[in-house]
Chains A and B, each alone.
Chain A
């Protein structure tokens, strides 16, 4: 789970669109989770485990960093 000032964004919505409007249900089946969990991840309300992040990336045939983007706020000087 990211710390304060750190955010994990993702491209799941766009990647689903690019994959022929893959549904959340279909992605959930490929990744081994429920549609609700995919929805929560997609909207940034839940940060997946590393294992699940890899599974989701693999479902799109991408690497983890193509799906998830780690944003860290610059440290205060």
Chain B
């Protein structure tokens, strides 16, 4: 397995672990704000960058990295557009809403999870395909 494919698997497990921990905390505490603490483990995505010896990458790795990032950002962009339009249509474009802080921070963390998951899955698929 290529070194950068291993990194993609690592990021995928970090993202899946984050969602699982968030769900577990919510089930136990029934407190969404407290459960957002689970997003802290997203920091584990940085672990591979602390390796003394960084894995060698070549043109194929860079090609896969570029394409997987494009796929992830496309999905993220589609979700943003759907979310924005959906909210506008569901709530009314001139409606004032009060949003708790956890919803705002959770949306940012959630966006990171979406991008990280989509990029990892796309990378793994491309490495598997050749």
Contact = CB atoms under 8 A, between A and B. Distances in A.
A6 interface: no
Interface stretch (B21-29, B58-66, B70-78): B58-66
B58 A34 contact: yes
Interface residues of B, number: 11
B61 A34 contact: yes
Interface of A: 32-34, 36-37, 40, 43-46, 48-49, 51-52
Given A34-B2, A36-B2, A40-B130, A48 B61 contact: no
Contact of B130 (A34, A43, A49, A51): A43
A11 B61 CA distance: 23
Nearest to A51: B59
Contact of B60 (A33, A43, A44, A51): A33
